[in-house]
Each structure stands twice: as structure tokens, then as C-alpha cells.
A and B are shown apart, each in its own frame.
Chain A
Amino acid sequence: MNWKILVRAAALAAGLAACGAQAMPSLADKLPKSAKGTADHGKFKELQKVFKSGPEVTRACLACHTDAARQVQHTRHWTWEVVDPKTGQKLGKKNIINNFCTTTVSNEKDCMACHAGYGWQDKGFDFAREESVDCLICHDSTGTYRKLPGDAGHPVYERKEFPAGSGKFVEAVDLAKVAQKVAMPSRANCGSCHFFGAGGDGTKHGDLDSSLKQPGKHLDVHMDAKGLNFSCVACHKTVDHQVSGSRYEFAASRHGPPTPRGKYDEEPASCQACHGDKPHRENPLLMDRLNVHTDKLACQTCHIPEYARNSIGTEKVWDWSTATTMGADGKPAVVKDSAGRRAFDSKKGNFAWDSFLTPEYRWFNGKVSFKVIGDKIDPSGVVEINHPEGSAVEPAARIWPFKVHRGKQAYDPELKNLLVVHTAGEDHTALWHNFDWPKAIETGMQTAGLPWSGKYDFVATEMSWPITHMVAPKGDAVACAQCHQDEGRLKGIDGIYLPGRDRNGLIDTIGWIVMALTLLGVLIHGGARVCVLCRKPRSPQ
């Protein structure tokens, strides 16, 4: 046996002793070094041809990957629809209203730039057609595959100016080249849609933006390009194209020991899947003081101290009520903020952006109730477009960090529902083309098959997004005193006794009064003694 083995064995033994029962090789060793696989698609004859369209490429893919399209067609990346198993309510991008561009209905040509398919431009889209599945949006490794709003999910076939009138041009995609270089999805693939949700870099999520393509360790300890370099699917473990970890099936808490990748796990995209529910190694004298926090807090609550931790930032407010207001010259205007981010657009209204944001905290059990198209609202207050459910008494609920996006949206003051607005498109009723609310609403509601009273007004809305990416290195985690104080981050969280924040007024009042009386008594007694002594000095005995 050579000495190196001995040293390694000793190191391993020491490591095992240190890690206890949770000992395992470093995670970086367990993850695949590359996602290249064993097939060089550049050598496949099927791909050595000129492709005129996306569906043509898909046909070639399906020649070998016979079940791929059918698999994708069972995912929400394709259906944009999720049915709540409990209520039967239909959710998913197809059905919900969001607080940004509002609805996809009547705006498919733009929205479907992020659909994993080709040609969804109206209700007539054939969801069973296999060659409409877009393989490349997720498997392009060249970074040249682009889909633009207005093309109903088709990639750029011909060089074109985008945005129109900007003087910037987007090159036509070389589909053969992209097809020959397919790979497992990287952060850039998922990010091509998820970083740009709501129409711009970082707009929607706040914890997802293009800075995560090559992040430093400070921004995300797992995706750190020079460190662990996790791809999205390292956590969002994917089987048969079903990507785990959806907002619609949210695991707010998960119990038990870690089950590292490769083993069955109900919630692979949770922190606990790899870290377990007792992840902190602590001084034994402190009796699991940090670990017991996992009973009440999501990991993210401490480990994502701020979101949008970069200059890209994220959108905090979208106020539609000022849309169609023209500039001083009577023409559509666009105003940027001091950081070059959108502040006003005649098409869309007012925006407010910011970076390095402290999340808002709420109890969350994983269930979110949504206002979908057609649902009644109460316009007297702020309309919660989605409401994270949960309270302190529910064992599965945890305190979660949220980005809360606030705004104003068009609603029907008589029928009391939010309105479907036909925003995108080149026709004369599209809001972004014609700047006419009634026409845009009429088309939108007609397309949705819903009645409209003919009146519209604007109502304050908000939408909550759980924050779960941009996990900071442990040294940057939220410090104890950030919550354990009167004016801390968890100020508004009820149902728990939080030392440092909570106390009983009666006990404190009585306690301090007793203390004050004691001191007063001592002062009087001592003072009296001093006076007596001064007058009658103790005679030497």
C-alpha cells in the first residue's frame, strides 16, 4: 500500500468523523463533469442539410428520439396549463392573469416566443402535432437560437430589425448548425425564457436574470461559474422532459435526511433534497439552535438576504393606468430611469425598478390561490392576483421570502373582474399599436369569450413570487439580529414567539417597576444610613 492511499484513507476517516452520519463525497465530485454525452450530433446525416423551419428540425430529431415530442407534450412547458388537483381550477400561463403583461389570451403571437413550440398564435393551435414541439429552445448550445415576440414561437428565419425601428438587427438562425450542436440544457437555455420573463432581463422574478449565466459565488453559491457551476437541471431534476420544481406544485417544506441526486426524491428541486432538514453543523452546546429554525423558516429566508443582487435589478411596479399617455409631442414616448431601465412607455404605463432588494416575508404552505381570467375581484382594496396560503399553525408552512410586484390593471367596474387586454399585434385594436383601451379590451374579452360591460377603470394589484435563486454564500446569510429585534425583517409575521422582537408588556412593566422600587428602597435605606452616620459618627469601640 503506498503512502498516498494511507493519507487519503486518513483524510477520509477524518472527514467521516467530522461529517457524522451525513458524510458523503463532495457534491462537485458527484455531478457530471460535462453534459456532452456520447453522440456527436454533427456527424448525423439527418442533420447535415439545410433546414427551412423549426418543425423541419423537430422532424429530424424525432427520427431518433421517437418519444421526445410526446414527452414534451405532457409538460407545462408545452401545455401552459396546470390543473389544480384539489379545486380543479385551471392554471398555467394559458389561464392566469399576471401582474406584468397580464394575459396571454389574444396576445399569443408575442407571448409564444417563450413557448416550447412552433405556431401557437390563437385558440386553433394543435397541441397534438409532434413536429410543433421546439427541441432547440432548450437544447441549443450555440447561443444563436432566438425566438422573438410576434412570430408565435418560430425562431428568426430571416434577418430582421428588432425592436422595430431600433436600428438593431437579429440575424437569421442557422438551424443546421444549432441542430448539430444540441446539448443538455444549460443555464443559458432555461434563462432564454426564465431570465427574461415579462419582457425584459430580470423583469419578473427578481431572483432570475441573465447575470446567472456566468455568476460569481457571491451571487449564487451553487451556480458559481468558477465553482460548483450547477446547471438549472442539477436541482430541477428532469425525467422524461418533466422538469421538477414548479411554482404550481411548490414544496414549502421538506423533512428528513438528504437524498443526493440519483436517488428517488419527491422534491428534488428543494434545498433539503441535498442538504436535509438539519443542514447546519453547530457547536453541540448550542443544542441545534440553528437547525430548529428549519421548523419555521424556509432555507431561502436566511440564505437569500437580498434578491436582484446586481445592476440588472428587477421590476417592482407596473402601473398600466398611465398607458396610452403620449409624450409632449403627442407621440408615443419611452422614458428610462437613471440606470437605463424602463420607467415609462406609452404602450405600457409606468414602471419602477430596483436592485439589491430585501424580500417581504409571509407564511407559505406551498399552495397559491390564483385569480384567473374571469374571476370576480373586490376592487375596494388591493387585488391579490395570487395569494400564497399558509399560517403559523400549519406544520407544512414556513416563512418564505417573496418578491411582491405591485401594479394597477384594467378591470370592469360593473362586472367586477380583471380585463383581458389585446396588447400585442399589428391590427388596429392592439393597444400597443393603436393606443385605444376600449378597442383593445373589446378584442381581448371577445377572444377570451367573456362579457364586458363597456366600462373600464384601474385597480391596484399585487403578485407574490417566492424567492429561491441567488443563494448567497453562508457568510452572507441573514444575521440573527436582522429578525430578532423590534423592527426586523419578520416584523409583520404572526403566530410565533420571536425572541428579541416579542415580549409580554405586563411582565416587563411589573418587572421594571419592581426593579425601580427596589432601587428606590435601597437608595432611601442607604441614604438614611449615610445621614445617620454623618450625624452620629460611630464611636471607636
Chain B
Amino acid sequence: MNTTPTRRGYIFLYKRYERFWHWSQAALIVFMLITGFEIHGSYRIFGFQRAADYHTYTAWTLLVLWAFTIFWQFTTGEWKQYIPTLEKVGAMIRYYIYGIFTNAPHPFRKTTVKKHNPLQRLAYLALLSAVSPIIWGSGLFYLFYAYWKNWGIDGWLSLEAVALTHTAGAFMMLTFFFVHVYLTTTGHTPFAHIKTMITGWEEEERH
């Protein structure tokens, strides 16, 4: 049964849970970047101990959030939004390189079944299949360092390797964050995408 609300001239793109997930995840990831780079020694805000505590607690919170989100993705079928496609990728790239400056129409129209443009899909897939495993794989080994001996992996896994992998992943996430935030301004007004992500409603483009 489809209970999606309707509004003239708008499509309802992001459901309540989806928006909650997005913004809480955004806040948690930003906070993990801030605390993470403090642990790394890049600057001092909370002090090492609190930065490490907060980083750990935030990681657990994010894991819980994901547990719910994975459940949500599967029960709603929304996971299909992340299936990659190469269709219109070229058009998207051309749009960002050229069209955006000539006021060309956006090559992709968002619908409730295709919320993400092809480049977004590829980017999110890369995030999900490369950056996330790098960060979380290393992060969880880091977190469970005290148990390496019990697991019998202390002989061949070094904290340095884990920490450096984690750092590399953090830089990737940081890069993603800045690009992602910048691309939110590429809607028909600079804040259109953000507004949509907050309210859930996307203004239908009229051509």
C-alpha cells in the first residue's frame, strides 16, 4: 500500500526515516572526522582522551543507526536506489563540466524510484564498497585491539598497519564530504537539494 503524501508541483523524495538517517549519519560522520583527526594529532579540541572516547561512542552509535538502516533498506526495497548504472553517466559528467555553466537542463530527472543521479549512484557505491570497508574494517580492528591476542591475530597484524589504513580511509571520507557538500549546491537554487533533504519534498522542474 502506497501511503506517500502528495503535493502539487512537488514529488515526495525522502521519507521521514530516510531523512533522519541521512542527517544523523551526517552529524555522526562529521563528528567522527573531527574527533578522528584530533586523535591523529592534527589539532587539539577535546583533548586526546575525550576525543578517543567520543570517537568510540560515535562509532557505536553509527553502527546502531546502520543496523536500523539496513533493516529499513531491505524492508522498503530502497536498497535498489544504490544499484549502479552507466546510463547517462557521460551526460552527467558533461553537465558538471559544461552544461552547468550554460544553464543547460539537468540531464537527470529525479523520481521516487530513481532518487540519485547516475554519478551519485556510482559515488555512493564507491563509498559503500570501498571507503566504508576501509574505514570500518580498520576501525573495528582498531577498536578491538585488546582482543587480538585472543583471536590469535596479534602475530601478523600490526597496529601501525591498521592505524594507517584507517587514516587513509579518513582522508577519503573527508574528500567525499567536501565534494558531497559542494554538489548539494548544484540544484536549481543553491539550497534546493538541502531543502529537499530536510523536508523530503523536491520541487518538480518545469521545462
Contact = CB atoms under 8 A, between A and B. Distances in A.
Interface in B93-127: 96, 100-103
Interface in A505-536: 507-508, 510-512, 514-515, 518-519, 522, 525-526, 528-529, 532, 536
A497 B48 contact: no
Given A285-B56, A286-B56, A507-B168, A497 B146 contact: no
B22 to A, nearest CB: 21
B178 A522 contact: yes
A499 B158 CA distance: 13
A137 B154 CA distance: 50
A289 interface: yes
B186 to A, nearest CB: 8
A525 B97 CA distance: 8
B53 A286 contact: yes
A529 B206 CA distance: 21
A176 to B, nearest CB: 59
Interface string B26-57: 00000000000001110000011100110011
A511 B49 contact: no
A485 B174 contact: no
A287 B182 contact: no
Contacts of A515: 171, 174-175, 178
Contacts of A292: 145-146
**Interface SS majority for chain A:** helix
Nearest to B60: A285
A501 B185 CA distance: 38
A166 interface: no
B34 to A, nearest CB: 14
Contacts of B96: 525
A285 B160 contact: no
A503 B40 contact: yes
Contacts of A501: 41
A500 interface: yes
Contact of B101 (A512, A522, A532): A532
A486 B41 contact: yes
B167 A522 contact: no
A528 B101 contact: yes
A480 B49 contact: yes
Contact of B182 (A511, A522, A532): A522
Contacts of A497: 158-160, 163
Given A501-B41, A526-B185, A528-B101, A519 B48 contact: no
Interface in A179-212: none
Contacts of A286: 53, 56
Contacts of B158: 497
B73 to A, nearest CB: 25
Interface in A455-513: 479-481, 484-486, 496-497, 499-504, 507-508, 510-512
A541 interface: yes
B179 interface: yes
A291 B160 CA distance: 19
Given A519-B178, A526-B182, A511 B171 contact: yes
Contact of B167 (A295, A485, A504): A504
A501 B40 CA distance: 8
B41 A485 contact: yes
A201 B56 CA distance: 47
Contacts of A289: 52, 56, 145-146
A504 B164 contact: yes
A288 interface: yes
Nearest to A508: B167
A159 interface: no
A263 interface: no
Contacts of A33: none
A511 B160 contact: no
Most buried by B among A285, A486, A514: A285
B206 A481 contact: no
Interface in A225-246: none
A481 B60 contact: no
Interface in B45-103: 47-49, 52-53, 56-57, 60, 96, 100-103
A503 B167 contact: yes
A491 B76 CA distance: 53
Interface in A291-325: 291-292, 295
B159 A481 contact: no
A538 interface: yes
Contacts of A508: 167
Given A286-B56, A507-B171, A518 B179 contact: yes
B2 to A, nearest CB: 30
Contacts of A502: 160, 163
Contacts of A481: 47-49
A287 B144 contact: yes
A391 to B, nearest CB: 16
Interface in B128-162: 143-147, 149, 158-160
Interface string B166-189: 011011001100110010010000
Nearest to B57: A285
Contacts of A480: 47-49, 52
Given A497-B158, A518-B178, A541 B206 contact: yes
A297 to B, nearest CB: 13
B177 to A, nearest CB: 10
Contacts of B185: 526
B107 to A, nearest CB: 17
B182 A525 contact: yes
Contacts of B206: 541
A510 B57 CA distance: 29
A277 to B, nearest CB: 12
7 contacts: A287-B146, A480-B52, A499-B40, A512-B171, A515-B178, A525-B182, A532-B103
Given A287-B147, A479-B49, A511-B168, 7 more contacts: A286-B53, A292-B146, A480-B52, A481-B49, A500-B41, A510-B171, A522-B182
Interface of A: 285-289, 291-292, 295, 479-481, 484-486, 496-497, 499-504, 507-508, 510-512, 514-515, 518-519, 522, 525-526, 528-529, 532, 536, 538, 541
